[in-house]
Structure 1
């Protein structure tokens, strides 16, 4: 027996059959979307072929002279629920067909007779595969656009027709120190000051007045904590489908470091040209110029110690010239000078990696430092580290003869990070050991799979209450070796501990005031 719907609500199927023929009834509903009509107990009283072919479960039930498919379990649950609540339910469902995964928007509603008596539940299914796939593709394209935008710029922005910010990405916090929520509704020019041209106006503001694109216009931004940065802003006008101007959208890039490097390079070139002219015409001023250069170099070193971004340019020059010297492009070098060139290259490359670590200090805090674990020689690591600290040790008259590994051991570590750890531990020992002291290294195999490398010294030691404090970032002990005013920002031990733990190891300290210090780093052995 069949059942149908009358005037959007419902009427009993016999009433419809009294008006139209059964063949006409079947023809109408077979052309409809997949649908079913079921009694409150879940018995199917009508289901067209669309529903049977889409959701047929292999089971069937006989109703009168008709064999109808049984409801799918989730549809039966919906019928049971509507029979109890008399509410309409709408949901998205997915179906595996021969054409692949298809999506249908289903609507399940109660049917009432002419006397408003509840008699059945009807469910219809409209194919929404194209819409779902389009929405999914749109989400993927939006994510792709955002990923590309984030990779190509620091932050993105949008304004309305009046130049007020309607959207700005989260990374703007790095520029102004305020969250995007507080910036929406403010004028774009409130963020900072565009660089003016000869006419007295900026290229960006002129372009925005004329509704034309602009590119790479510097804007100086001062954050709430007083830090000043320079960003290159680029933007394009946005028009609606009727061609009416509705605002701007664009990107920004932090060029503070680049400008500083360019200014430093320009200043260095000017100083060099001046020095060459003075040397050419005034040989008598050579000694004075040399003294000025030494003083300038000392001031430069102190400045670059806290400005890691600006270290790249001169450091790359050092590495480049050392490589040229190593190739003997302008003449042969003695064996001793070849050793010096090799030491310069090794030291320069290692220092460059340390600068990158400083720039990535945020990733250290979130334990997202990338590691490349590989077989590594402990002897080579200790030898390289000793070379890097040898000069400072020699200047203080320290004995490094005990810093050696007699029996080589293969580690399973990141060689660059491991060298950084050992250099930090040796550097601290050299820094805080008095003149004429001694520094050494001991090894021990623990648990069959870990190496314990201990760097010991004859320095003043550390108070027990400060032994945990020295591993905290930017912290120094109130008493002991870390209160002696030595240079450094207090990141060496923190960074070393993080790196050791990321490689599966650890760093501990054992010492007493006046008895020297023993820093032990554990690292995994090769399996």
Structure 2
């Protein structure tokens, strides 16, 4: 076990440009190369999240090294030209199977079936994920809600016994139901919240995945809301369930394969995985655009112009065609 934090730095493309020997050794064991893309999926995902949110993130992570697992504590801090890493712990133990999550996933599926929208929070009840319908109901962009406290969006209401079911469940790390809450802000609305606990790879509680179901409005203003809003919210939720979640899983799997997270693979196979991940991100962006179309139905909609980087569009298109072109001995510059 290492008593001292091991440091490293990623550039803007998440390549490991600086690494102390122990981190460089783990990078090679994961199939990565010096100055190459970070090949340790658990650390790479935290680095991407830190860069996307623009905040420092410190979390436990488990990485595989040979036949053993490493218990790590990863601190990712975004900087101007990338992400700085500090990794401590380095406790080695025999590899164990991930904690069973089938029951929690099954419970989450039941929640989705009857919910108006879906959310996820960490142990501190900070949002880590919200569905498009949630952002629509809150009148905010989804990125604005990530990292925000749960109570900045909801005013929790005590039950008949004077308790808050979500806080009781948080203390006992269990499922909860029938948490009444009012949506804050001018739109208002009353919701019934339910959630199931999330368990990480070490079998530890890591937050909740939950649902919000409208049970009626608490303010006259919400009663006079345009009738098109529930339809557009439902449209965004259907897209979220039918397209966004499957695409996200495909992208995550392709990135893991491309980063050789499960072990070394042939270079061309890694290239195929990178292309799949890139195409998946492109499709995910199209889904986001479809969800944004609901804003056009609003009476206060006004278009805004923005600059388009044609060179970036061309580079992305070339990247999608590179493998097919190479098979036909065509070079795309």
Fold similarity call, TM over 0.5: no
Give the TM-score normalised by the residue count of structure 1. Answer: 0.21
Q: Return the index of the structure with the highest Cα Rg.
A: 1
Q: Which has the higher contact order (CA 8 A, sep 6+)?
A: 2
